[in-house]
Amino acid sequence: MSKVTSVSNEIRESMDSTGRNARAAAQIIAQAPTGVKNKALLAMAQRIEHDRERILEANAADLEAADTTGLSSALVDRLELTPERIGAMAQGLTQIAALADPVGEISDMNTRPSGITVGRMRVPLGVIGIIYESRPNVTADAAGLCLKSGNAAILRGGSEAFNSNRAISDCLAHGLVDVGLPEGVIQVLKTTDRSAVSAMLDSPEYLDVIVPRGGRGLIEKVSAESRVPVIRHLDGNCHVFVDASADVEKAVEIAFNAKCRRYGVCGAMETLLLANPIAQAVLEQLVPRYQEAGVELRGCERARSMIVECTNATEADWETEYLAPILAIRIVDGLDEAIAHIGRYGSGHTDAIVTNDLSRSQRFVREVDSSSVMVNASTQFADGFEYGLGAEIGISTDKLHVRGPVGLEGLTIQKYIVYGDGAIRP
């Protein structure tokens, strides 16, 4: 079972106080009018623009510390803020202000034979915990989404971004105070003690859900230890299957875009499945393009017989989310084998079929059990903005509550509302 980090009394007491503040603030923000929430978001955005230099200085201190501790260059890249990145943060908050408020939406009202009228009202979840790693922009993004959806938030960023997060959280607090909302609505933990994460995971009385954003290690720790329900964003081991009936041009464009548009995103294709009858025609056009882009190809035996430069794909390749210019290629007999491969090796994130056969497209959509299933579209579309959610707090690969990109609606739930006129149950 779970391996639990021990939590000092000091950290526990600090969590209790943060948690109580959050619960009190949650009651207020849940009832806050849309206009007030939007004003707070805009005030936060303004303050971030206004404090640009201060945020950059704080970030410089973090970068200097990272240099001393020898943080990897990938992490340093995520940690670094530029004037553009700070501008994007402010813009993100402004965009969230422009989104429709999901709170209070009433739906499905209908009158029952007993005479009562029953419907559902969308309400915030309560207090949301976000545990994340180096990127300081998550502080503003996550806070904005939680606020707009009427939730209080407790944020725990990476210790390597301590100063940056502190500077950003000051801006957020200003925005709240500006419109008369309590600072407890958005609390950024001001400690680098790692056991603070464990204290959050052990606080179901204060937190309604935890959203971990980070690498596999973080997600696994949170899943194993948490007594609070978790919305997880796991690997994106995504597939494109090119069916025998596919249009070769479309298949080539989609397969190229799904791999090469960006290598490091969770919606990037990691394995290409080709129906045997069409494989040769697709590879003839596609392989030179991959080679030009510098993509390393690893194939099954049949694929290697069709591609000159292609190493042997092992079991590990089918299971791997490369997030890099490497692609596994497998030739399959047809739809059944493709669906079975995805069921066995996929991570339930995003998988696509390229086909012109209606019946096979329907089977693929029904039978592939992933959070997004696509027909004749690139897996790189897996994104809250592209789906029209406006913004996302992550992409859920869980099967409860919400699947796929999680926007404002995913941070709410429906309660039942019942109206009678003196109705008693017989």
CA 346 to chain centre: 18
Instruction: Based on the shown chain and the rule CB under 8 A, indicate whether residue 125 belongs to the binding site for its own copies.
Output: yes
Instruction: Based on the shown chain and the rule CB under 8 A, indicate whether residue 100 belongs to the binding site for its own copies.
Output: no
Instruction: Based on the shown chain and the rule CB under 8 A, indicate whether residue 398 belongs to the binding site for its own copies.
Output: yes
Q: Report in angstroms how near the CB of residue 162 gets to its own copies at its nearest.
A: 28
Q: Write out the two tokens for 124.
A: 């915030």
Q: Report in angstroms how near the CB of residue 415 gets to its own copies at its nearest.
A: 5
Instruction: Based on the shown chain and the rule CB under 8 A, indicate whether residue 216 belongs to the binding site for its own copies.
Output: no
With CB under 8 A as the contact rule, the residue among 46, 87, 88, 104 that binds its own copies is: 104
422 to 33, 101, 115: CA distances (angstroms): 30, 32, 10
Instruction: Based on the shown chain and the rule CB under 8 A, indicate whether residue 424 belongs to the binding site for its own copies.
Output: yes
Q: How many residues contact its own copies, by CB under 8 A?
A: 75
Instruction: Based on the shown chain and the rule CB under 8 A, indicate whether residue 414 belongs to the binding site for its own copies.
Output: yes
Q: Report in angstroms how near the CB of residue 29 gets to its own copies at its nearest.
A: 12
Q: Report in angstroms how near the CB of residue 120 gets to its own copies at its nearest.
A: 8
With CB under 8 A as the contact rule, the residue among 279, 283, 374, 408 that binds its own copies is: 374
Of the candidates 266, 171, 252, the one whose C-alpha atom is nearest the C-alpha of residue 215 is: 266
Instruction: Based on the shown chain and the rule CB under 8 A, indicate whether residue 1 belongs to the binding site for its own copies.
Output: yes
Instruction: Based on the shown chain and the rule CB under 8 A, indicate whether residue 338 belongs to the binding site for its own copies.
Output: no
Instruction: Based on the shown chain and the rule CB under 8 A, indicate whether residue 270 belongs to the binding site for its own copies.
Output: no
Nearer to its own copies, 294 or 388 (CB): 388
| Cβ atoms of 167 and 54 closer than 8 Å | yes
Give the Cα separation of 392 and 142 in Å (integer). Answer: 9
Taking the CB of residue 415, how many other CB atoms lie within 10 A of it? 9
Q: Write out the two tokens for 78.
A: 């995520």
Contact characters 218-237, its own copies, x per CB under 8 A:
-----xx--x-x-x------
Residue type, 213: R
Residue type, 305: S
Q: How far apart are the first and last CA of the chain?
A: 48
Torsion-angle region of 357 (φ positive above 0: left; ψ -120 to 50: alpha; else: beta)? beta
Contact characters 242-261, its own copies, x per CB under 8 A:
-----x-xx--xx-xxx--x
Which long-range contacts (C-beta less than 8 Å, at least 24 apart) are formed by 417-426? 417/106, 417/118, 417/119, 417/120, 417/121, 418/116, 418/117, 418/118, 419/116, 419/117, 420/115, 420/116, 420/117, 421/115, 423/114, 423/115, 423/116, 425/114, 426/114
With CB under 8 A as the contact rule, the residue among 12, 214, 369, 390 that binds its own copies is: 369
Q: Report in angstroms how near the CB of residue 307 gets to its own copies at its nearest.
A: 22
Contact characters 159-198, its own copies, x per CB under 8 A:
----------------------------------------
